[in-house]
């Protein structure tokens, strides 16, 4: 089958070439091609804000926890779930929209995610790498203020984008298909299944090192206690939910 090697070998890029730039024309072409991704009812419920200037990246950096990729990338793309444009069109055509609700936000979120990932794939096929910044939803309100996002527009994905400084890194580990694919009906996991599915991930030297230096008993505790602890998840959940409501959903 075509392109299997490309996808199985792809990886997140965090080191960008400061001397090689993506032209506006190339960026526009990639985004236009990405916009042909599937979308709900062909509504295209997304927008993207491109930040190239040093000043703009510097303004956004603290909102992304000062991750080095924010200021070192060639362009920072903020993908937003956006019903504002569609609602404006509806009202201009004497059609009353009913999209100020949670379901509509989720619809726009799905459209935006598909669009962003299509862009990532197209960029990588053209030698351009990217890094997803999970902090977009952590700091949604601050990002919205920095980018002047109006009602019905919510930042959900930020990508640091650019040409690689050297070679693309090695791909990250992935779970075996046994742990992902369910045939006909969902089959819940036994303890033995869990041991088998996560065995390779847990055995990786770098993951064993994480466990050791953090004085934990297992890799799972790295996720639950350090990377994504309950208190952080609940705090972000509250702030993001409040902001979604503030934006009119």
Tens-digit pLDDT profile for residues 204-223: 999 999 999 999 999 999 99
Residue pair 132/12 in contact (Cβ under 8 Å)? The answer is yes
Angle at Cα 56 formed by Cα 18 and Cα 52, nearest 5°?
Answer: 40
pLDDT at 241 over 80: yes
Residue 83 confidence class, pLDDT cut points 50, 70, 90: very high
% of the chain beyond a pLDDT of 90: 94
Q: Where are the domains of the chain?
A: 4-170
pLDDT for the residue 170 = 87
Tally Cβ neighbours within 10 Å of residue 23.
Answer: 8
Residue 159 pLDDT grade (very low, low, confident, very high; cuts 50, 70, 90): very high
C-alpha dihedral, 146 to 148 to 153 to 157, nearest 10°: -30
∠ CA 12-18-22, rounded to 5°: 75
Report the CATH superfamily, name and number, of domain 4-170: NADH Oxidase (3.40.109.10)
pLDDT of residue 169: 83
Tens digit of each residue's pLDDT (9 = 90 or more) over 184-200: 999 999 999 999 999 99
């Amino acid at each position: 089958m075509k392109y299997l090697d490309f996808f199985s070998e792809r990886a997140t890029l965090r080191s960008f070439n400061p001397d090689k730039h993506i032209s506006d024309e190339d960026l526009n072409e990639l985004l236009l091609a990405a916009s042909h991704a599937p979308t709900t009812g062909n509504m295209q419920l997304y927008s993207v804000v491109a930040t190239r200037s040093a000043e703009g990246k510097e303004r956004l950096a603290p909102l992304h926890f000062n991750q080095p990729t924010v200021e070192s990338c060639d362009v920072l793309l903020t993908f937003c779930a956006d019903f504002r444009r569609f609602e404006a069109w509806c009202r201009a055509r004497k059609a009353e929209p009913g999209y100020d609700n949670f379901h509509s936000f989720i619809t726009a979120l799905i459209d935006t995610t598909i669009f962003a990932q299509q862009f990532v794939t197209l960029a990588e096929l053209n030698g351009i790498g990217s890094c997803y910044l999970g902090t977009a939803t952590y700091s949604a309100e601050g990002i919205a203020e920095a980018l002047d996002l109006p009602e019905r527009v919510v930042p959900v994905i930020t990508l640091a984008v650019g040409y690689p400084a050297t070679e693309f890194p090695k791909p990250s580990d992935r779970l075996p298909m046994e742990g992902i694919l369910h045939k006909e009906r969902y089959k819940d996991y036994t303890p033995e299944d869990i041991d088998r599915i996560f065995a390779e991930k847990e055995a990786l030297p770098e993951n064993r090192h994480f466990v050791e230096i953090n004085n934990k008993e297992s890799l799972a505790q790295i996720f639950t206690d350090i990377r994504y602890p309950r208190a952080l998840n609940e705090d972000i959940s509250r702030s993001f939910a409040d902001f979604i409501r503030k934006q009119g959903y």
